[in-house]
Structure formats: structure tokens, C-alpha cells
Structure 1
Amino acid sequence: MLFVESPVGVGFSYSNTTSDYKILGDDFTANDTYTFLHKWFDKFPLYKKRKFYIAGESYAGKYVPELAELIFDMNRDPLQYINLKGFLLGNPETSDAHDWEGLVDYAWSHAVISDRTHKIIKDNCNFSSTNTWDNVKCAKAVNEVLDQYREIDIYSLYTSLCITNSTKLDDYMRKVVFKSSSSGMMPRIMGGFDPCLDKYARMFYNRPDVQKSLHAIDGHHLKNWSICNDQMFHDWADSRPSVLPIYKKLIAAGLRIWVYSGDTDGRVPVLSTRYSLNALGVTAINSWRPWFHEQQVSGWLQEYEGLLFATFRGAGHSVPSFKPSSSLAFFASFLAGESPPLER
């Protein structure tokens, strides 16, 4: 497995050409990653003929199909050939109009917003229009949705927030860290998703010994690692409003395409993905049915011609953080080209 920090500027990645940061966008990201892949294959030719898959989540719902299309188009040149077989996407941004519609409907259906707010949006917002936000009633109502989500974790509706200034939480954390350390385990909250995971990651990746081990620094000048580099996205050059045309193109080409959704994510909720796939117009070849892991229902799935869509029951935005074991089983099924287990 090859993990790529993309676009340049996120995580520990950087460019020696400072002007790169002023032209970042979807097209730049696809071409930059494509260049990286070829240089990587040149350095490790052993892997050139192996089957190649791409996976990502969230905004990688744009990045991954765009990169896959670029590889597919460039494969017409035998010298540029990469043995691309498919891609896997989790809670992916896919089609702006359907993503917004799904976000709003999901918030309403899960009692995050009122009937009144939902009706105002339905009556005044046309998310397919470039002038959507010129409608004052629409913009105000959508801001109400986002305001309500500031009270909880939009990426995981039913888990607690990380409230680090809480005495109660601090006491609990000390108990958990002490107990875990004495047992030889890594310090963490056991038994489920940890809402303070981002905080721990920030602390961990900003340790000098960690940055040195990762060859991110020379051991002297620390980098300030953060969970998200927001400054990069203020002047984002281009973003396709929809990658559904790429889906159609690559489905016709025979690539394996799987899409999954954690069903407690409010940011790119399961409804957004269902609306997008419905707009794609692909034909269902099997009935909607549950899939299983360790004799329990892990979620539900629908198989289409050229595409599989599955849900993860009780998982938020970053599904493997919530359901690591069932995620691994699902991933293994994807690589094997087999449906996830359909029986208990």
C-alpha cells in the first residue's frame, strides 16, 4: 500500500516552488499525483505490472475519479501505462448539488434542524444553480443548518465532542491512560470511537522524535503538523461540480468501482451519495440487502451494473476509525473482486 499526501501542502508534504500553492486545484492535484506515480514506478519498477487501485474518502470523492480518468486517458500511450483496475471511495463528495441536498435532508431526517428550516430550504434553494447563494432566504436557512451542526460533530452525529477543558473528561482520560499504560497497551479510550483522536494525532505528529523517524525533518527544525491545512483552500483554483460523468466513462471501461457510506456522517451523508448514484442512472442488478461481518449486520448494499454501493451501520465520516474490523473485511472483498459476505 502506498499512502500519498495530496495535494502538496497537506500533512508533511511541501513544494520547493512556492507558486504551486497559488494554483492548487483539482486539475493540479490530479496531474501532480500522476507525475508522482510515474516517478515512483520508475524508482520501483518491480511494481509496474501489478494491479493498481486507488482509494480515498471525503473530498477524495473528486480527487480519486479525476486521477483515475487521467490514468485511463494517458494509458493510450504504452510507455505511460499504469495497470489501473478500479477505485474505492468512502463518504465521497461526488456532485455538489446532490451533496448539498443530501446534507440538508439528512439533517432534517435526523432532527438536527426544524421542519420550518427544512421547508425554507426546499422552497428557496436550487443547489443546481450557480446563483444558489444569492437567495437570502436560502443562504440564511443553510447557515442555520451549519449553526446547529456546530453544537455536535457533523462527521459523527452520535459520538461525544472532544471537550478537553472539561474536568470530568480530564479525570477520565487520566484513568484510561494510566490503566492502559500499566497493561502495556497504547494509551487510548477503549471500546469505541475516540472523539479526541484528532487532538492525539496533532500531539503525536508534532513530536520531534516522530518527525525525525518519518524523515519529515532533519531532527532540528520542527514542522507544525495540523489535521487540516485550511489556508490552502481559500484560493482553490478549480473544482468540478460533479464527477458523475467520470463514473459513467470508467464504468463503461470496465473498472471496478465501489462506494461506501458511514451512515452517521452528516457532512457527506449517505443520502448525498444515494442521490448522486440515483442521478447516475445505473441499473440495479440485485436487491437492497444486508451484508455481514462476524455474524452481525455491518450495513446494507446495492449492486449495480459496474458499481457497488454499501453502507456501514453506525459509522461516521472516516469509516475505518469507527469500524476497523468490518472495514478490513470490506476492503479485502474489494481487492478480491467478491461481494462482501451476504450471509450471517
Structure 2
Amino acid sequence: AVTTMANIALALSLPLALAGAPPGPEKAFNDAGYIPVALGTKQLFYWFFESRGDPATDPFIIWMSGGPGCSSQLAMFAENGPYKVSKFADNGTSSADKYNLDLNEFSWNERATVLWIDQPAGAGFSYGLPDFNEDMVANDMWDFLMGFFEKYPKYQKLDFHLFGESYAGHYVPATAARIVELTTLGLGTVNLKSIGIGNGLTAPGVQFPFYLPYAQSRGIVDGPRAAIMAAVLPLCEALTAGCELLKPSDLTNATIKWTACLNAYVFCSFGELIPVQASGINMYDVTKKCEKPPLCYDFSEITSYLNEPDVQKALGVSKTWSDCNRLVDLEFIYGGDWMLSYADDVALLLDAGVRVLVYVGENDFICNWMGNDAWTRTLLWPGSIAFNLAENKTWLTSDGEEAGSYRSAQGLTFLKVKGAGHLVPHDQPKAALDMVGKHISKYFDKNA
């Protein structure tokens, strides 16, 4: 079987060598490359930067972008990484002749060693056989961690925190639950301390009913659009319930479940999302118009930089980079994954002593704070009553600036970020870094 898998990997022409990193102003050690997973049928690309503080003792963070199918390198340059890229010339013999790389003072590697991973296979610079559900994602991420720590063993002992955004509301709980499962069985060592879910889609069945209330509270839907959203919601809820509750005990039931999941995605998306999207509002930040569909932001300078020949040579890649791969998205849609809930995995993590941060920009529609607040409040776990009774507190940055509010109890923290949309570190970089530092140091837990 291993020989067969190796032949598949060869046939796919997957890159196998560790690469490096292009030159830049960041003084902290950084490296990029590929880790083979799933018996070599996939190669997952990463780029990591050591902590600007003390990399020997500071924690280790992995960041997972959502989509599904979006590259975490987009987040590295546009949100919480050490570099901001800007183009100043169209002609030149190298990237240095055309682009400035400026240091981001609010990069998350101010507090930790941070790795940005392109996953699932097909996202960003990663290659290989496609994933279409969270079991596959979790298995690949476990393989990645074991391979990465084998290559860089000094990071394995560090406190580990898994963060992600948007569709990573699926990825992060599923991956962390697999880490707990396999480390408990003694199959490997990962010093998992916490997870962080930013503007995540974690429990669609709870979150989707809050699209209309949120839209109405922000005045972004008129009467006819609101009527469409209200009319479709009962069907959306029924299909989502079927998607979550039906058991694939045999082929017939598996087919019924898959059909329910696919139809839930179709009806819920068209009923609850399209009416707002059609208005021209930026669904990722309702205070703005969508200037450049579908992501509503101009990431063209990041795209052109990562496709520069000398940059790709330094990274050891030979693939045209794009911010998001629609094919990966379709794989998860038709895999029936989109409308499944991963709230139970969050409960499992809390029971295992893994702390959980759920943070949401107040101006995001697509994974809004109302829906995220609702699923954290309805989560079934021993700390549920304490969490629901917990006081809502004002969050002040280390400079004394009001950055939002939070509620915390027994390891679970829900945090609403002031003046931010879907991309919290992009919109409020200083506050986001403060949040990460406070979460790592258990500030929210201690000051609940």
C-alpha cells in the first residue's frame, strides 16, 4: 500500500523538498517548506516565524485560514503576520525591485512562534489528493504535526495553541479533538493548551437563524429581502437538523444524510446569505461596500508578490498561488461537510482541559457575533451554567483602550471585538495582538 501511495505522489509531481524563505526585514528565524501527509499523497505547505521574544520558551501557534480552500499565507500578509507587502514598480529583475516588505509591529510572532499552513491540499501552495470532510482534515493535520516536530523537534515541548478563522470554525475543533484523542492513546506528543476560533462557522444550525436578526439590527436589509430570509429559514433549519442528526448507518441512510447536508447548504445560503450579498454590502464588514467581489478586499499585491519567480524559488514552490481555491470549497460542499456542527468537539476539548477562545468582530455578517454568541451559550458541557451566568466585561488593551467585551467561565471565553469585521487582525491589529497575549496568559480566565 505504501508503494502504491508513493507512486500516486510521484504521479502527482508533488514537491518533496524542504524549501527556505525569501529575504526580508524580519530578524526572527523563519523557514518554509512542505510536510508530506496521508502516506505522501499530499504535501502541505507552511511558512513559520519564530517569536520575536524568546522562541525557546514562548508558545507555538498554528494558524488555519478558512474558505474552505483559502491560503493561510493570505492571512500572514493581510492580517497577523510579520510582513505587509506593497508594490512600488511594475518592472524589475527581482521582487526587491518592485515590492516593499514592511514589518508589522502587531504580528502575532511578537508573542509566539507562529506557523501559517496551507491546508487542505489544494489551498495556497499545497498539493495532493483532495479532502472533503473534517476527518480527513484532522488526520492530515496530525500527520503534519508529527512530521513538522520530527523536522523541528525543539518546538514540540512548547505550549501549543491552534487558531483559525471563518471555516476554520470546523477545522480547529475537529483537529484539536483528534489531537486530544491520539495523544491520550500515546500515539504522539502535542502540548495542546488552547484553541482560538475567530469569526467561525462552528454550529451552522444555531448560527444561521441569527442572520436575519443581525441584518435587521444593522439596517442592511429592506422589507422584501427580510421577507425572503424569514420565509426560507424554516426549510433551512429543517434540512440542517437532518444533516446533523441523521446517522449514516447504511448506504441508504448515508445517502439521505448527504442529500440533507447538500440541500441545507443550498437553501440556507440562498435564503439567508444571498439577499444580503445582493445588496452590495461587504458581508465581511457591514460598514463598507463590497469593492472587489467575492472577498470584497483587494489582495492583488499579495498575489503578485507570491507569484514572483524569485519568491517562489526561495520558497521552493512551483505553483501559481491564489488567495482561495474554489475547487476545494466545492469538495467540502459536495462532501456534505459545510452544514455539520463541530460544537460537540468544543465541548470535548473543554472537558479535556483545553481552553477555548471564540472571538468575533462586531461588524461581520457572514459569521456574526449573534450566531457565535448563541452557540457558545447553548453548548452542552459542565460549565454551561457558569458561562451563561458570567458577567459581560469590558476588554481594555494594555494601553487602556476599549477594544470590546468578553464573557469567560471555566475555560471558555467569548469575546466581541470593537470596530472589527470578519478579519479581526486586519481590522484591529493592535487589539488582536493584545487579545492573543491575554488569551495565552489566561488573563480572560483570571479576570472573568
What TM bracket, shorter-length normalisation? Answer: 0.7 to 0.9
- Counterparts in 2 of 1:153 and 1:35: CA distance versus 1, 3 Å: same
Q: 2:322 is matched with which residue? A: 226
Q: 2:238 is matched with which residue? A: 129
2:419 to 314, 319, 332: 314
Q: 2:200 is matched with which residue? A: 92
1:292 to 372, 376, 396: 396
CA contact (8 A) 2:177 2:345 kept: yes
> Secondary structure, in 3 states, of the residue corresponding to 1:100?
helix
What runs of 5+ residues in structure 1 fail to find an aligned partner?
165-194, 218-222
Structure-1-length-normalised TM-score: 0.79
> Secondary structure, in 3 states, of the residue corresponding to 1:310?
strand
Q: 2:278 is matched with which residue? A: 148
TM alignment of 1:182-221, pairs within 5 A: 196-217=297-318
Q: 1:176 is matched with which residue? A: none
Pair 1:4 & 2:117 matched: yes
Q: Distance in 1 between matches of 2:413 and 2:322?
A: 34
> Secondary structure, in 3 states, of the residue corresponding to 1:78?
coil
Higher relative contact order (CA 8 A, sep 6+): 1
CA contact (8 A) 2:208 2:272 kept: no
* Structure 1 position 29, deviation (Å): 1.1
Structure number having the greater strand percentage: 2
* Structure 1 position 34, deviation (Å): 0.8
Q: Distance in 2 between matches of 1:246 and 1:46?
A: 29
* Structure 1 position 58, deviation (Å): 0.4
Structure 1 moving runs of 4+ over 6 Å: 136-140
One-letter amino acid of the structure 2 residue matched with residue 307 of structure 1: L
- Counterparts in 2 of 1:140 and 1:87: CA distance versus 1, 3 Å: closer
CA contact (8 A) 1:112 1:145 kept: no
What runs of 5+ residues in structure 2 fail to find an aligned partner?
1-113, 240-259
- Counterparts in 2 of 1:6 and 1:139: CA distance versus 1, 3 Å: closer
Q: 1:259 is matched with which residue? A: 358
* Structure 1 position 67, deviation (Å): 0.5
Pair 1:301 & 2:436 matched: no
Structure-2-length-normalised TM-score: 0.62
TM alignment of 1:17-166, pairs within 5 A: 20-21=129-130, 23-126=131-234, 127-130=236-239, 141-142=271-272, 145-149=275-279, 151-162=280-291
- Counterparts in 2 of 1:83 and 1:325: CA distance versus 1, 3 Å: same
> Secondary structure, in 3 states, of the residue corresponding to 1:3?
strand
Q: Distance in 2 between matches of 1:249 and 1:143?
A: 30
Task: Render the CA deviation track for 1:3-53: whole Å, top value 9, x for unaligned.
Answer: 2111111111112xxxx22x4322111111110110111122222222111
- Structure 1, 96-105 or 140-149: larger mean CA deviation: 140-149
Aligned-residue sequence identity (percent) comes to 27
Task: Render the CA deviation track for 1:156-196: whole Å, top value 9, x for unaligned.
Answer: 111354469xxxxxxxxxxxxxxxxxxxxxxxxxxxxxx74
> Secondary structure, in 3 states, of the residue corresponding to 2:348?
helix
> Secondary structure, in 3 states, of the residue corresponding to 2:444?
coil
What root-mean-square deviation, in Å, do the aligned CA atoms of Structure 1 and Structure 2 show?
2.7
Q: 1:337 is matched with which residue? A: 442
